[in-house]
């Protein structure tokens, strides 16, 4: 019994480091082609959105989505540090996916991607994702999650955990 209590306390502490909110309306076919639409970066970390897009694409494949495509990007324009560039990239990505007759699109916003200030410098990542049916622009699923990691973890590892927690809640058929 004395050994069980510390384990339970540790599990409760770990659970307190992650938040997850999601909603699902209907199961989505994994045999369809899905597009990962450019994410919006609402952080001060350059290219956090592109990193989250790459991780999300890999996680969709890992979940069994058979065809995942990403919108073509203009490397010169993407290097521009314009505040509204993320929204413009998202709009361009949605327009591209619709022209390609792709039905499902995963879009997201990176809300946090950094190391906390302090002695330990814990990594912190936060994301919101939406799965959209592009035929009628209906949101089929939406989720938001954030996590604080331990000082020896990389921000990208914490971000991958956040995205995996979100993507695994999408109901596939």
> Quick one: 167 exposed, middle or buried, by C-beta within 10 A (0-12, 13-18, 19+)?
buried
Output the domain CATH number for residue 66: 3.40.50.10610
Token look-up 């209590």 returns: 5
Residue 7 lies in a domain: no
Residue 26 has a pLDDT of 77
Q: What pLDDT, on a 0 to 100 scale, did the predictor assign at position 138?
A: 94
The model's pTM is 0.84
* Confidence tier at 75 by pLDDT (50, 70, 90): low
In sequence order, the 6+-apart residues with CB closer than 8 A to the CB of 169 are 20, 22, 24, 141, 143
Exposed / middle / buried, residue 116 (Cβ in 10 Å: 0-12, 13-18, 19+): middle
Note whether 146 and 112 are within 8 A (CB).
Answer: yes
In a domain, 12, yes or no: no
In a domain, 37, yes or no: yes
Give the model's confidence band at 76: pLDDT under 50 very low, under 70 low, under 90 confident, else very high.
low
Has residue 9 been placed in a domain?
no
pLDDT digits (tens, 9 = 90+) for 98-133: 999 999 999 999 999 999 988 788 999 999 999 999
Counting residues of the chain whose pLDDT is more than 70, the rounded percentage is: 79
Q: Which domain holds residue 67?
A: 19-167
Average pLDDT of every residue of the chain:
86
In a domain, 2, yes or no: no
Condensed to tens digits (0 to 9), the pLDDT of residues 11-70 reads 434 444 666 666 666 799 999 999 999 999 999 999 999 999 999 999 999 999 999 999
Using CA atoms, how far residue 90 sits from 11, 36, 117, in Å, is 38, 10, 31
- Residue 22 has a pLDDT of 65
- Is position 6 within any domain? no
Tell me, what's the pLDDT at 148? Answer: 95
What are 77-86's pLDDT values in tens digits?
555 555 567 8
CA distance 40 to 101: 23
Q: What is the DSSP letter of 39?
A: P
- Count how many domains the chain has: 1
The pLDDT of residue 9: 41
Residue 14 lies in a domain: no
Q: Do 29 and 137 meet the contact criterion of CB atoms below 8 Å apart? A: no
The whole-angstrom separation of Cα 54 and Cα 71 is: 12
Give a yes or no: residue 57 inside a domain: yes
Coil vs helix vs strand at 37: coil
């Amino acid at each position: 019994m004395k050994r069980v209590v510390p384990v339970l306390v540790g599990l409760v502490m770990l659970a307190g480091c992650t938040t997850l909110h999601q909603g699902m309306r209907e199961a989505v076919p994994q045999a369809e082609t899905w597009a990962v639409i450019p994410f919006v970066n609402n952080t001060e970390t350059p290219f956090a959105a592109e990193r989250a897009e790459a991780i999300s694409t890999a996680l969709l494949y890992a979940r069994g989505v058979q065809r995942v495509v990403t919108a073509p990007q203009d490397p010169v324009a993407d290097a521009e540090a314009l505040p509204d560039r993320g929204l413009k990239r998202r709009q361009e990505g949605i327009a591209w996916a619709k022209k390609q007759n792709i039905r499902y699109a995963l879009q997201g916003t990176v809300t946090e991607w950094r190391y906390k200030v302090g002695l330990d410098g814990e990594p912190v990542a936060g994301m919101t994702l939406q799965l959209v049916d592009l035929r009628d622009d209906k949101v089929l699923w939406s989720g938001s999650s954030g996590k604080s990691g331990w000082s020896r973890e990389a921000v990208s590892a914490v971000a991958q955990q956040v995205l995996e927690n979100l993507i695994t809640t999408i109901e596939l058929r």
